[in-house]
Structure 1
Amino acid sequence: MTILTVRHLTTYSYAAPVRLGEHRMMLRPRDSNDQRLLEASLEIEPRPRRLRWIHDVFDNCVAIADFSGETRRLEVENVITLEHIASDEPDFLLEERARTYPFSYDAEEMPDLARAIERHYPDPSGELERWVRRFVNQGRPTETAGLLMTLTDAIKEGVAYERRTAKGTQSPLQTLLTRRGSCRDYATLMMEAARTLGFAARFVSGYLYVPGGGADDDHPRRGGGSTHAWCQVYLPGSGWVEFDPTNGIVGNRDLIRVAVARDARQAIPLHGSYWGKAEDEEGMVVTVVVRRLPDPEPANRERP
């Protein structure tokens, strides 16, 4: 068990006073058996006229802020402390029918999994399908776990990582063509490749813990210092399993889940609107610091 803290600071600056519209924030981690939220604080300046919390259709916790008046700066600081139980590559305790690919999902699960299996991006010439089929054995069984781990590694090794601050996500075909992308582009490519093979997959946004606090240049972990993205694939017997193609991680080690969705556009950590001139927007600065707290000192037991 590890105790991690995350400080996520987002600052918007404007050249002239603007009136802020509604802002939606997905910043509160999802409690589960492998991560438990201990403390959380959300500070917003200027202070919202109203702040309310809801759960969206995917059961993510969303904060919605409404503002009054004008400002030249919006600052959102989210600080969380959570208990994290890391696992290395999962044991893949799959049901017998799912040990080899292809397999069929249970009929009772299909209505809930259908949209996660459905392909979300066009592939008119079948380029993505041809690419992903390379990892499926021809004429002999393909081990399901091995297939997904190979796909994860192929994306990690075949796509050059770049930190991209521009809005939006590249299409899977664009990432395949350019062989470059951010973590959300890696995740989207992995999801769509898995869906092409008939797997149910979904997008995950959250944070990455980089042991030692090193930057991307001096540590093999890529995606530290900002929000992070990866995907989950649903496997009978194991449930939703984490796959981070940016770093080749299978399992939850160093990953802090915040939100899940069918598509990256549904899991944006912070987005909103303002009334003013387009040229008034000077930019956004995001800083994320994830630290591990020292292990508690063992209790001092005095002997009689």
Structure 2
Amino acid sequence: MPVFNIHHITKYEYDRPVKESVNEIRIYPYACTEQEVLHQQINITEHPEILGITDYWGNQVGMFNLLSSHRELIIESKMVIRTLSTGETPAANPATREQLRQEITGNLRLLELAQVQAADLRVTLEATVSEFFVPGMTVAAIVENCSRFIFSHFKYIKGITNIETTVSEVLELRSGVCQDFAHAMLELLRYLHIPCRYISGYICPNRNGMRGEGATHAWIEAWIPGSGWCGIDPTNNVWVTNHHVKLAVGRHFNDCTPVKGTFKGPARQSLSVYVSVGYEDGHIFEEINNVQMETVEGKEVPEEHIAPFPAQQQQ
């Protein structure tokens, strides 16, 4: 089973001092049978105490405060992880939508994940679903066809979208990055009442090459009767492999954001994210993303101004 060395640095910089920074981090590997954490070290500016909790979706969350005045905040994660996937896929699973309906009846968690989030999109979703769905298909076949449809008809283009791009815009553009493709696939499958959830993580080096390697990545998991949660990556049109490392799960990106927080102060802020993934043979994939976000646009604001952190778009 492959072992990966993953180094993830999130750096916030401010053009003037800020204070009372309150934060949540979801950069811990998700607890599941498909992966084993051999080591993880978290380093944060000024070494604050980190309170660990488990959220509604089962994610490990770290919470910390940086109360004193500061001009930068650096959050660093170093981990060594072994992936344990057997490589089996649910492609041949014969479960039908009727079996799925019976299985999720009364299961509030699954029912919640089977509801379309953007109710105003139903007409668009119906038209898009008709391009890959045929009545009578198994649940696994629907999931595969949806992934193949997105991979074949949507263009992978960095910079054309951001974290605030809506599913409606993604379906219109038919372009974007992994985060956009995951959100689009979630809504398409939920339109067909298939429970599915957003997955945040990394895609590690692969001899065949995959889009999104060496960066934070996103894919989805669909609930298939008899198989449970099954991961599939529409950006690369593959069922998840030993090259996918899972960090967090949820309804959408906002439930899985690697770093989330606020601070006090009238400052402009910028965000840069560095990710490197080392393979066993020593080969390293690296990527740096710079996100610029101004919280003040050349005007006076109160000293107690509270601003959110910009978030990293997953590639």
TM range (shorter): 0.7 to 0.9
Q: Structure 1 vs Structure 2: percent identity of aligned residues?
A: 25
The match for 2:138 among 137, 140, 143 is 143
The answer to whether the 8 Å contact 1:169/1:184 transfers is no
For residues 248 and 102 of structure 1, the distance between their equivalents in structure 2, rounded to whole angstroms, comes to: 25
| CA 1:294–1:226: 2 relative to 1, 3 Å | closer
Report the CA distance between 1:158 and its aligned residue.
Answer: 1.4
Find the counterpart in structure 1 of residue 290 from structure 2.
Answer: none
Which runs of structure 2 are paired with 1:129-140 in the superposition (5 Å)? 129-137=126-134
The answer to whether the 8 Å contact 1:169/1:185 transfers is no
The answer to whether the 8 Å contact 2:104/2:111 transfers is no
Find the counterpart in structure 2 of residue 90 from structure 1.
Answer: 89
For residues 145 and 107 of structure 1, the distance between their equivalents in structure 2, rounded to whole angstroms, comes to: 16
For residues 85 and 245 of structure 1, the distance between their equivalents in structure 2, rounded to whole angstroms, comes to: 21
Report the CA distance between 1:107 and its aligned residue.
Answer: 5.3
| CA 1:108–1:196: 2 relative to 1, 3 Å | closer
Find the counterpart in structure 1 of residue 190 from structure 2.
Answer: 195
Find the counterpart in structure 2 of residue 60 from structure 1.
Answer: 59
The match for 1:252 among 241, 245, 253 is 241
Structure 1 unmatched runs, 5+: 213-218, 296-304
SS at match of 1:190: helix
Find the counterpart in structure 1 of residue 202 from structure 2.
Answer: 207
The match for 2:153 among 149, 158, 162 is 158
| CA 1:287–1:105: 2 relative to 1, 3 Å | farther
| CA 1:167–1:20: 2 relative to 1, 3 Å | farther
SS at match of 2:3: strand
The match for 2:163 among 168, 179, 204 is 168
For residues 181 and 87 of structure 1, the distance between their equivalents in structure 2, rounded to whole angstroms, comes to: 30
Report the CA distance between 1:196 and its aligned residue.
Answer: 0.5
Paired residue type of 1:244: D
Per-residue CA distance 1:86-143 (angstroms, 9 max, x = gap) = 444604463x5x24678524256532311100110133561111211222225xx323
SS at match of 2:120: coil
Which runs of structure 2 are paired with 1:210-225 in the superposition (5 Å)? 210-211=205-206, 220-225=209-214
| CA 1:162–1:228: 2 relative to 1, 3 Å | same
Structure 2 unmatched runs, 5+: 283-315
For residues 166 and 135 of structure 1, the distance between their equivalents in structure 2, rounded to whole angstroms, comes to: 24
Report the CA distance between 1:85 and its aligned residue.
Answer: 1.9
| CA 1:22–1:208: 2 relative to 1, 3 Å | same
The answer to whether the 8 Å contact 1:51/1:65 transfers is yes
Per-residue CA distance 1:240-298 (angstroms, 9 max, x = gap) = 000111111213341101100112111100121121224x31x1110111122259xxx
Find the counterpart in structure 1 of residue 124 from structure 2.
Answer: 127
Paired residue type of 1:195: R
Structure 1 length as normaliser, TM-score? 0.85
1:16 aligns with 2:13: no
For residues 234 and 134 of structure 2, the distance between their equivalents in structure 1, rounded to whole angstroms, comes to: 21
| CA 1:124–1:206: 2 relative to 1, 3 Å | closer
The answer to whether the 8 Å contact 1:244/1:250 transfers is yes
1:234 aligns with 2:223: yes
For residues 250 and 181 of structure 2, the distance between their equivalents in structure 1, rounded to whole angstroms, comes to: 15
Find the counterpart in structure 2 of residue 37 from structure 1.
Answer: 37
SS at match of 1:273: strand
Paired residue type of 1:56: D
- Number of paired residues? 282
1:118 aligns with 2:115: yes
The answer to whether the 8 Å contact 1:35/1:83 transfers is yes
For residues 122 and 90 of structure 1, the distance between their equivalents in structure 2, rounded to whole angstroms, comes to: 31
Paired residue type of 1:154: F
For residues 87 and 254 of structure 1, the distance between their equivalents in structure 2, rounded to whole angstroms, comes to: 12
Find the counterpart in structure 1 of residue 274 from structure 2.
Answer: 287
| CA 1:169–1:93: 2 relative to 1, 3 Å | farther
Compute the RMSD of aligned alpha carbons: 2.3
The answer to whether the 8 Å contact 2:91/2:144 transfers is no
The answer to whether the 8 Å contact 2:160/2:175 transfers is no
The answer to whether the 8 Å contact 1:89/1:251 transfers is no
